[in-house]
Structure 1
Amino acid sequence: MFIDQNTYQIAFDAYLRKGTPIELALKQDKSTGFYIWRTRGDNKVRSSHAAQDGKVFAWDNPPSTGHPGEGFGCRCKAEPYVPAVSESLNVQMVGVTDTGRPWTNRDFINHYRNGNGVPVRVRDFGHLRKIVNEYWGTVSNRLVGQIADAARIQTSGQFSYPFTNIYQMQHIVFIIGHTTIEGEAKGQVTFQKNGTLRISGDCGFELVVEFADPLDIGIELPGGTPYPILDSWSARMSGTIVADGNKSWIRLDG
């Protein structure tokens, strides 16, 4: 709940002039779960409330005086308080293991001529780990920010975020060239009382490209059959982020 300061000021002026009680809802914003007790700072403040000025209380654990505004004629306010939060959203790769020796260009061409179009997995020709490391080093900050923003839209419950793009991998495996990597993040987000979101879930990744041009000149050579190069892996994600993206460093433009 957001407390409009102008509305509160009008209500407070009415209280001073006519003795009209201020609605309790105008004094209490419970969105963060915590508040700082603030008095009016004048000689009308009762001593028990003055002793609590500037102190932090939880809405579910009131002080002996009750919360601000609950006592008769109380003019004190509850200023929302968000405890310090250490943000993190960790994405840990799973299943990134090479099972075969690294192929050379000659190996790719031999499979083009003799493989009858049978697909090959990146891990089977020994380059998955390098490609995943290159990919994650390129997209990690952006993708984590996108996942965080998707979780903020949902606020509570299940959320998902699909992604896809083309990446340059020639410097790792020249034969592969332009490589499409796509996937989807799926998880659970839970809103916490301190204004944060708890996130957990998984990401799935898929790499898809076709070997169809051994000379990289846009022409398929006779005597060969194009074949798919593909693979997949996953990641586990978990962490805590600030629900208000404007106050968080983990966001798309962060």
Structure 2
Amino acid sequence: MTLLEIGHLREIAEQYAYGDGAEGAFRRLADQIAHKARESGEGWLTYDFGDAYDFGDVAFSHGYGEVRGIFVGRVDDRGATLRITGETSSEFRDSFEDPLDIGIEAGGTPYPITGDWTARFSAAVIKDAGASQYGAVDAR
């Protein structure tokens, strides 16, 4: 079953992007991509990411699901700054087993719930991480 089929794709993507933590996963991902860009310098850049997140606010049955993905883009050196452009591709994976997660549905058959989405990414970051708003890196 897919998130699109059950009507939760947009809500899951938005919960992941903006509703997880103080600034959402997209903000942390932006920091991580900026960190990698500073390390690698000018040229092509790929960055793998992923973790489990609580999606229970979308629907209690989702609980924790995993979002994994990859950023593919380019870093251009602009003197004191780096211009980063590209796209993130994200995949949601979960398994629905029991609506209350307490074993009520004895003999029930678990089934996977999947979904995917892409988002464009563009940022100009200061090379000096200490002087940039894209400085702190949260590994999550």
- CA gap of 1:142–1:200, structure 2 versus 1, over 3 A, is same
What is the CA–CA distance in structure 1 between the aligned matches of 2:136 and 2:104, rounded to whole Å? 40
For normalisation by structure 1, the TM-score amounts to: 0.49
1:132 aligned onto 2:17: no
- Aligned twin of 2:89: 204
Tell me the SS of whatever aligns to 1:144: helix
- Give, as a single letter, the amino acid of the residue that structure 1 aligns with 2:10: R
Superposition deviation, residue 136 in structure 1: 0.5
Identity %: 37
What is the CA–CA distance in structure 2 between the aligned matches of 1:179 and 1:235, rounded to whole Å? 19
- Aligned twin of 1:234: 118
What is the CA–CA distance in structure 2 between the aligned matches of 1:239 and 1:178, rounded to whole Å? 30
- Give, as a single letter, the amino acid of the residue that structure 1 aligns with 2:110: P
Alpha carbon RMSD of aligned pairs, Å?
1.8
- Listed as ranges, the matches of 1:12-27 within 5 Å are none
Superposition deviation, residue 213 in structure 1: 2.1
What is the CA–CA distance in structure 1 between the aligned matches of 2:45 and 2:7, rounded to whole Å? 34
- Aligned twin of 1:156: 42
Superposition deviation, residue 157 in structure 1: 0.7
Superposition deviation, residue 140 in structure 1: 2.2
- Give, as a single letter, the amino acid of the residue that structure 2 aligns with 1:150: K
Gaps of 5+ in 2: 19-23
Superposition deviation, residue 220 in structure 1: 5.3
Instruction: Decide which structure has the larger Cα Rg and report it.
Output: 1
Q: Which residue, 162, 168, 193 being the options, matches 2:54? A: 168
What is the CA–CA distance in structure 2 between the aligned matches of 1:154 and 1:218, rounded to whole Å? 48
Contact 1:204 1:235 in 2 (8 A): yes
Superposition deviation, residue 180 in structure 1: 0.6
Superposition deviation, residue 225 in structure 1: 2.0
Which ranges of 4 or more aligned residues in structure 1 deviate by more than 3 Å? none
Of Structure 1 and Structure 2, the greater strand share is in 2
Q: Which residue, 125, 130, 138 being the options, matches 1:246? A: 130
Tell me the SS of whatever aligns to 1:249: coil
- Aligned twin of 2:21: none
What is the CA–CA distance in structure 2 between the aligned matches of 1:197 and 1:186, rounded to whole Å? 16
Q: Which residue, 191, 209, 222 being the options, matches 2:77? A: 191
Superposition deviation, residue 252 in structure 1: 2.5
Q: How many residues align?
A: 133
- Give, as a single letter, the amino acid of the residue that structure 2 aligns with 1:212: E
- CA gap of 1:182–1:218, structure 2 versus 1, over 3 A, is farther
Q: Which has the higher contact order (CA 8 A, sep 6+)?
A: 2
Tell me the SS of whatever aligns to 2:102: coil
What is the CA–CA distance in structure 2 between the aligned matches of 1:147 and 1:207, rounded to whole Å? 20
What is the CA–CA distance in structure 1 between the aligned matches of 2:119 and 2:87, rounded to whole Å? 6
